[in-house]
Structure 1
Amino acid sequence: MLTMIVADDEPYIRTSLIRVFNWQEEFGIEIIGEAADGQEAYDLCMELKPDILFTDIMMPLLGGLEVAGKLKEGNCPTKIIVISGAQDFSYAQNALKVNAEGYILKPVKLPELREVFQEVVTRIRQEQERQMNVEQLKKQLQDNIPLIREKFLRNWIAGMYRDEGELWEKIDYFHLPFKPGDVLTAGVLQLDDYRSAVDKFSEEHKQLLYFAIQNMIAECLEQPPGGICFVAGENEFILIFRPDEAASPGTAALSGLCAKITQSIQKYLRLDASIGIGRACTRMCEMEDSYKDALAALVYTFYTGHASILYIKDIQPSTETLQSTFFYKFHARLMNELKAGHTSEVLELLERLFDRLAAPKLQIGYVQSICAEIVFTSARTLYELDEDIEEVLEDRTTIMDALYRQTNISGLKAYMLSFFNELATYVEGKNTSKNSRTINRIRGIIQERYAQELSIARIADEVYLTPNYISLIFKKETGETLTDYITKVRISKAKELLQTTDLKVMEIAERVGYENPHYFSTVFKKTVGIHPLKYRSGK
């Protein structure tokens, strides 16, 4: 419902104007006041803020146009409709100057009055609707400010803004804690071994994890040198450090802040994280370069390992390669030792190789390609000697996946040592017609640990071979499977305990490595032919 005040110094005319229409029914207007002079009209408008003032142009104290002028100066939104008994054009001109919505001459004609009010009411409602839409849009904007801010930040580090002035406008709009003259530095935090760390989590758990990490970073950034953080992608948390008054970026203050962040994540989430730090930039449009530097620095966790803080300015990647003479001699000797089955010599050669690979911090892709070449050259060489080598080797794709999945040089080294230990041990066994040393070690492990949880996979880890390979050689050399041998040892110990002790069957089962006494009884009967209690009684 719109509101209106009627002002005229003649009571009769004022009453006539109030009664001339059913204002609410015809126009949706409620008359909330009336005034007998211009001052009263002005005071009521400033107090009640009506949508419309319907006023005579000539009134005591203040004329209708003077009231309109004062309301305009006071930023009062009331619309003015003026009634005038004078047909002087200058009055109409003055009415336009004060933005009067309508100018009606006396004597008032109802069709003309109706038309003016219909037009004014329509304009007011359209204006209100536009204002309502604007307010609604403003509210939606405010509700979405966090998302819009994140989008701006991601676009910023992606280099989408090259105009410094435009960037500062946006920085001010989003109330970011930076000011002209600041020297800013980008950092990137990533969880180490991310896939293995989060693969076990549900998507909801992952999102909670990201939220927790972002909160921890934000809390740490409240301390000098401080800054902001946001998520750029999966396992990519961006930090923009602002300078500290007492210490510039890149000093101990920044290192201490990064260490505090990684320590908090380790303490509360039991996860390791590393941070790469780019070069400082004096212009906001250079942030993309600092961000890319930070990502490049993170790559070198391959050499430094977990929970590293890496400055790009401290990293000087080598473009060197292994000397061709060294590699040629190494490769020739490795093939000879491998074909001879000299396991210890093969592993010693690989240790020396990795000393050379790690020392100058070669390009990571180059190191991985060197290892891949050695693996597949060795496989081809051994295949020429023994086609059964395929029983030991996994398929090419699996090997490549395992090799390139190593996220640091120590992991890559461990994989290569394990791979070649298995190859050399196989060849050694082939050359001596039996793998007596490995078999004896496996038997010793079983004899010693039969009462514990004992799986083929765990035994394989103990002898640095794969489960498939030890199962293969054990069966081949002894004529029985590893599982059968473990069962034989356990049942033999159980028979001994049944005959020499008064322990219950449940206790004996536990002592020989069976958690479930019913399963133990089943295995015992299947192996010996009778139930454990009957065996004890001699029946």
Structure 2
Amino acid sequence: MIRFHKPRIALFWQFFAKYFVLFLIPVIVAITFTYIFVVRLIEDDARDRNDIVMRNSSEQIDNAFSSIQTDMIRVLSDSTLRSFLQVAGDSPENQQRNEWLHSLMDQLDKIMVDDLVSNAYIYLAKYDLVIDSKTDSGKEYYFRYKYPIAPSERDNLFLHLTGKKTMYFTKAYRVDVSPISPDTSASPHTVISTVMSYPFNSADPDVYLVLDVKQDTLREQISNSEDWIIGAAITDGEGRPIVQSGAMAAGAGIDNKKAVSSIPSSFNDSWRYVSVVDLDKLLQPARMIRMLSLVFLGFFLVLGSGVSYYLSRRLYAPILEIKRGFATYRQPEATVKREANDFDVIKRFSGMLISENNQLSRLVSGMVPMVQEHFVGKLLLGEFQDEAALTACAKEIDFDYDPTANRTVLCIEFHYYSRVQEGQTETSKSFLLAELRDSIRKAFPGMAIWLSHTKSDILACVLHHAPHSDIGSKEAAERIKLCLQPFAPFYKATIGIGRTVGSIQELPASYDHALSMLRYKGMLPEVEICGEEREREDRSGWDSFLSVQEVNRIFNLCKSREYDSLLQSTYALLDAGKHARASEMKYLCSDVLNTWIRAAEYEKTDFSIAFYSKLFDRLSRCVTVDEIRQTFRDIHELMFRPRQPHDRTRPFAEILAYIHRHYAEELSIERFAQQMNMSVGHFSRTFKGEVGEKYVEYIAKVRMDKAKQYLLETDLKIDEIAEKVGYWGRNSFIPIFRKYEGVTPAKYRTLYSSAP
């Protein structure tokens, strides 16, 4: 106990002790923890910065490889390669074969524009032939003189040129200088090859496209200018370095003063981008913080001593008054004169605390219904495993219930419409839900109703069946349906009816059954009630997936640019299945959208994967057939906009439109050349430059697309179809159809006209 005859000394130590306990100890602890964790924080920050730098570098490299992959697919998908494979074994004197060969060389030369690519060649698995951007030769000659590789590395490379390959990366190997190369400045270099086979899904491909990636260029791209990053590398799946830069390339070791970080490649799952960080440079701020912390601590020690001394001299009298005031406060009957000092302030704050305590008590009382609703939610979710725990929890929150009454759980599922979802805040949704709760309670006067918001889109309603009440679960669902009618402009609601149970422990089973009934909901806008009657309905006759005929029809409509018919055919599918389950309708709509995307990609529409992902996300949020119709209408406007020809190509656009309308007529090149005031040769070259295909090839493809549409959608004979698409008869029609499609018309009709 403090002796007050030495007030200043006792008060000094009292203040200093409180200052030490309340302020200095937290400061010391904070400084200690700061110093302990600052290194980790700095390392984490540096790692994040390093990851950002490495991620930017890796994204550039991954994007470069993605571009290379796209170029490889484009070369292998081009009709020139398919045409060349048909005559690859012919004599070099075949003029058509030489034209296709030079076309392939031009395509390979375009691929080599990329800085990462040092060489590109096509390896024919079934022929003794290798084609690069400059020449073609036999395999032995090519890999010995044109592209010299050591025999052991050549054998390893040949092992990769078997089986199906999709952007397969080989290990690094050395390429020597060609002995017959005129370039005297060339030098041996190390490359990594990426391999892709064609046909793409064949286990025994005909062609392998091989691209060589420069290691030096890769090394430059992963190099980093940050002074705390001393080296970087790309490693393969076995941890071996593919390319290194900085100190790692110089062979510097990694000790306890260095840290290693790595991120995976988004392009090749087996690759990782690795960097080495110099911890000495990173920890310089930590050492500075330690010194500043000691200075900071010393400053607060001096400051605390001075403040304690000052307060001990000036505040002893008010403190004594406060102590006496507290003693008087414990004896209300005593009358004590109080001066306007800190005690009065403390007294006023004490009164405020008492007032706040009363307000808090009233607030807790108002939260009892919320706590009870939370209790009902836990009860429905089956979180109470035994009756003792259930009884104890109910008693704590003053929740009264009959353990053996008959009860039924009704689950109300509500999905906001897309047009409403964007304009609704969480506050407005809460008000709507509160209004719905009040409406449901008013619909059952005199009956016990438990409500619980178990999920974000589920409101569970526990109905208590009185012994002599005529309100069953179906009648209750109808009443709730009436309550939901005013909210129809905001969301689509569905009521799932669970089984009636005889004890409170069985409520989770009734709740789960009510949730299971919701899967039978449809896409109509009105409020639906899903019970066991809906479960027994037979919906097996409706197919929720597109048939092969429908898929082919969509592709043909896209090829012929009949976009309005494409949208109308989708509307017809939606109208046919508007009474189906929502899940089945969503499957069908996803299938239709996927087919649209494939058709648009076939037309080379330039959309990103993120764009397609947003389309699927918007479709998944639709809750009625009308929303789906509007969604497909918007998607149709985005994906199939009519292309406006450029002023320079407008005459050719008119010619193309005429060809699409009059493909069954005689379309002589002389007629259009005269129309354009050009010679036949000049018109042919200009047409190929503007359109991308030869005049004869373009007309043949238009006629083949129409012929496939007739084959799949009509029962016309081959001779009739040949006449409708502009050929004299089957003898001239069948060879051209086989040339472009690989099969005869009759075989094509057999393969693709039957549904799966």
TM-score bucket (shorter structure): 0.3 to 0.5
TM-score by length of 2: 0.33
Relative to total residues, which structure has the larger helix share, 1 or 2?
1
TM-score by length of 1: 0.44
Instruction: Look at both structures and tell me which one has the larger radius of gyration over its CA atoms.
Output: 1
